[in-house]
Structure 1
Amino acid sequence: MDDSTRLKSLSIALYAVGAIATFALYPLMVLWPSGWAWHSGHSDYPLMIVGIYATLGVFLMRAARRPLEHLSLIWFTVWSSVVHGAIMTVQSLMSPGHLGHLIGDVPALFIVAAVLAALTPRRAQAGAGVPPQPSLRTN
């Protein structure tokens, strides 16, 4: 895949992941709680998670316009998704009532991480497309 195709694909992936995080997480928690919600009954947890992911989603959609300028946000999304997915995998396996997450939000997190990691250029590859950063040092 050439660089321009890769960046275009990355932009599409960032926008799709951002839109899903912003607009689809809460409906998924309501419609498929065994695969997306970790609490039953009254809990403040779902709104906190939705708030965090909706905020991340908005920033991912903004990053989709110029992904090379937002590599740290993209890599944060990759690695936080891996860590979050790993923790949820262990918790799902330790609590039989949460096994539905192994076909819901757990694979979703790993898929997001894999797709963004595969499409995101490493700093050395992206060097030509990233504007120089201002130095904070003064002489």
Structure 2
Amino acid sequence: MNDELKLKYLKAALVTIGLFFIAGIYLMMMWVWPSGWAWAPKQPEYEQMIMGMYATLGVFLIRSAKDPLANASLIWFTIWSSIVHGGIMFVQAIVDETERANLLGDVPALFLVAIILWYLMPKGAPAPPMY
């Protein structure tokens, strides 16, 4: 896939992932599949914090879709933070048997976000300046 086509799909992915971060995490955690997305026992403070963080990130991902190359550092932050978050949750779900449903829920979802964005980031994209 050439960089122009990747950029087109990247824009769509940023909007889709952004919308999921804004509303989908809440829906999955509260209504659709709580055992695969929420922690047991129920931890409303944690859930509110994580939903707030991901909703904020979602807004910025949608905004970055207008010019992904100018927002490469945000996209790379999303990729790497998804890998780290998914990795930590993977270990926690292995260690704590009450969290095993997360191995089928949010853990693979986080890795999927990272894989999609990583694949769609144009390889020749200029790195943002380091200040």
- For normalisation by structure 2, the TM-score amounts to 0.92
Show structure 1 runs of 4+ deviating over 2 A. 39-43
Cα shift at 1:40: 2.9
Cα shift at 1:42: 5.3
| 2:27 match: secondary structure | helix
| 2:41 match: secondary structure | coil
**C-alpha RMSD of matched pairs (Å):** 1.8
Q: Deviations over 1:11-52 (max 9, x none)?
A: 011111000000111111012111000143453111110000
Deviates more, 1:35-44 or 1:5-14: 35-44
For residues 91-102 of structure 1, the aligned pairs below 5 Å read 91-102=92-103
Equivalent residue, structure 2, for 1:114: 115
Q: Deviations over 1:52-83 (max 9, x none)?
A: 00000000000011100000000000000000
Equivalent residue, structure 2, for 1:79: 80
CA contact (8 A) 2:40 2:98 kept: no
Q: Which has the higher contact order (CA 8 A, sep 6+)?
A: 2
Deviates more, 1:35-44 or 1:108-117: 35-44
For residues 8-87 of structure 1, the aligned pairs below 5 Å read 8-31=8-31, 32-41=33-42, 43-87=44-88
Task: Tell me the amino acid that sits aligned with residue 13 of structure 1.
Answer: A
- Tell me if 1:3 matches 2:27: no
CA contact (8 A) 2:36 2:101 kept: yes
- Segments of structure 1 that go 5 or more residues without pairing to the other structure are none
Q: Distance in 2 between matches of 1:118 and 1:77?
A: 13
- For normalisation by structure 1, the TM-score amounts to 0.87
Tell me the percent identity: 50
